[in-house]
Homo-oligomer: A and B are copies of this chain.
Amino acid sequence: MTRFLKKKGCIIDKLNGEKMKERIKIFDTTLRDGEQSPGASLNVFEKLEIARQLAKLNVDIIEAGFPVSSPGQFEAVQRIADESDKIIAGLARAKEIDIKTAYEALRNGKNPRIHTFSSTSDFHIMGKFADSKYGATLAEKRSTIIKMSYDAVSYAKTFLNDVEFSAEDAGRTDTGYLCDVIEAAIEAGAMTINIPDTTGYTLPHEFGAKIAEIKKRVKNINKAVISIHCHNDLGLAVANSLAGIENGARQVECTINGIGERAGNASLEEIVMTLNVRKDACNYYTGIKVDELYNSSRMVSGFTGIIVQPNKAIVGENAFAHESGIHQDGMLKDKSTYEIMNPESVGVKKTKIVLGRHSGRHGLKSRLEELGYHLPEDKIQKVYDLFLELADKKKEVFDDDLRILMGDEIYKKKELFELEYLNITSGTETIPTATVRIKTGDKTFKESSIGDGPVDASFNAIERALGFKPALESYNVRSVTSGRQAMGEAIVRIRDGENSFSGRGVSTDIIEASAKAYLQAINQLYLFNHTALVFENDNLVIK
């Protein structure tokens, strides 16, 4: 007999009158591991918006960043912790400076968590702890790491209670040694123990067996929640996460759209929807509001500039599209023929709501809020003006246009250089020529240049105007909304020594978008060279 009871928005099932479904905590690391995706750097405002959307999606824990790594990371963690009711985690290596800085960022939050970690696989130990100060032999280095882990957790506990410990590269760590590290971390007070498959190496049955063995062998394991964190290098991150849950994990670390280092992390939407669609076969549930999955996906893709491939499960453009005649025919007869979930259930809207220049301020604001964007009172007029300008060009303004409007125009950083004027002539028999006027403070620079195409010409003109020629690392452009007056988005990355900077520009004119993106990347480079994080006499100072 199966009974369904609705309770506080979560479904609690009694299966066969015996086994209660267990809740899995969703630990979202889009803002930390996800932001480590090459080219994904987010500014503070974008991170705040994503954190708000994650709260709306009802994740349990938001990992907001790695505070010691940069002033921007610190500020983002601090502002998210200050604002959010969710558990906010800050990452810290097993070092006092990291832990203290994480605490500084989190201290005013309602539910702060310090997430500290050590490397535990032999690969990592021999690679990262080669120095003899960590011990002469592998055995000695291993002991050092147990002590470092214990000390790190103990130190974090002097600041707050909610401490999570991760054993980096646990997937490739000898399970016996891993159990010793975990036991020490729990003894020091870690309340969550995370088992990351950092390199995406394990197979589902191996990863499941590892979790089962940890649960069996670690004496004090009942004092902590087991967490898992899987990477997707072999395409198995979601299956490994499910195997982990099946074997005792009750927290899953994952990201929206599966973004993250290399091939990314386990995709939040795939894990959540597997447990949801297959609730007949899974004894677990999450608190996720699944109809916010699509909005979350679009927001993260829009802000990070990381595209979601059309064939991405759950949130890809084609995830619910049926192409072949046979499939289309089947779908007309009965949807369940080829559809195991309803697109609307994950928040894909069937009817496109279109705004136009006659939509009022209020209509715009409420549509933006439905899409997950928060519009501060002092920004309404600015956004509305931009909206009217766009409506003049596009006639029909779709949700995606609004998402881009919010991404591009509202939350961008202070610009040192502003593109005031751009003119382009180009064509099959014309030498592409660009003219620009750039404003910085009360100065303006004007220049023109030819180029190999209109984009090249405009970049050349910008370089001449500023007398500065950075190394161009990559240039990408795509259309982000539909229709011929589609908004084009350009992303430019430039390099200055060891650091790279990206800029994004959006316009119905692709060339203009490109020039704006290039200029924004140059802005980022300038701003970076004038900012530094310093820890002075126990106080954190941003210069």
A-side interface residues toward B, CB under 8 Å?
Answer: 36-40, 66, 69, 93, 123-124, 126-128, 130, 169, 198-201, 203-204, 206, 232-236, 238-239, 242, 257-264, 267, 270-271, 273-274, 277-278, 281-282, 306-314, 316-327, 329-330, 333-334, 336-341, 393-394, 419-430, 432, 435, 451-456, 459, 472, 474-479, 482-486, 488, 507-512
Residue pairs across A and B with Cβ atoms less than 8 A apart, 19 shown, are A38-B323, A123-B334, A127-B336, A127-B337, A233-B319, A234-B270, A234-B274, A261-B338, A263-B311, A263-B316, A393-B452, A421-B428, A423-B430, A424-B426, A424-B430, A426-B426, A451-B484, A451-B485, A477-B478
Report the nearest B residue to A316, measured CB to CB.
B263
Identify A203's interface contact among B270, B274, B472, CB under 8 A.
B274
Q: List 9 extra interface pairs beyond A421-B428, A510-B510, CB under 8 A.
A: A203-B282, A233-B313, A234-B270, A426-B512, A453-B485, A455-B485, A459-B484, A476-B478, A477-B488
- CA distance in complex: A357, B478 (Å): 29
Contact between A429 and B424 (Cβ–Cβ < 8 Å)?
no
Indicate whether A263 sits within 8 Å of B314 (C-beta atoms), given known contacts A425-B425, A475-B483: yes
Contact between B508 and A452 (Cβ–Cβ < 8 Å)?
yes
Complex interface: chain B residues within 8 A of A235 (CB) = 238-239, 267, 270-271, 274, 313-314
Contact between A453 and B262 (Cβ–Cβ < 8 Å)?
no
**Number of copies of this chain in the oligomer?**
2
Indicate whether A452 sits within 8 Å of B485 (C-beta atoms), given known contacts A36-B324, A263-B316, A426-B509: yes
> Which of A273, A456, A507 has most chain B Cβ within 10 Å?
A456
Give the distance to chain B from A71, nearest Cβ to Cβ, in Å. Answer: 14
- CA distance in complex: A146, B380 (Å): 64
Contact between B456 and A318 (Cβ–Cβ < 8 Å)?
no
Give the distance to chain B from A283, nearest Cβ to Cβ, in Å. Answer: 12
Complex interface: chain B residues within 8 A of A267 (CB) = 235
Give the distance to chain B from A454, nearest Cβ to Cβ, in Å. Answer: 6
> Which of A36, A69, A426 has most chain B Cβ within 10 Å?
A426
Indicate whether A311 sits within 8 Å of B204 (C-beta atoms), given known contacts A235-B267, A425-B425: no
- CA distance in complex: A243, B452 (Å): 52
Indicate whether A203 sits within 8 Å of B475 (C-beta atoms), given known contacts A235-B270, A236-B239, A340-B233: no
Indicate whether A425 sits within 8 Å of B424 (C-beta atoms), given known contacts A69-B325, A510-B455: yes
Contact between A452 and B127 (Cβ–Cβ < 8 Å)?
no
- CA distance in complex: A203, B486 (Å): 39
Report the nearest B residue to A333, measured CB to CB.
B127
Report the nearest B residue to A459, measured CB to CB.
B484
Report the nearest B residue to A508, measured CB to CB.
B453
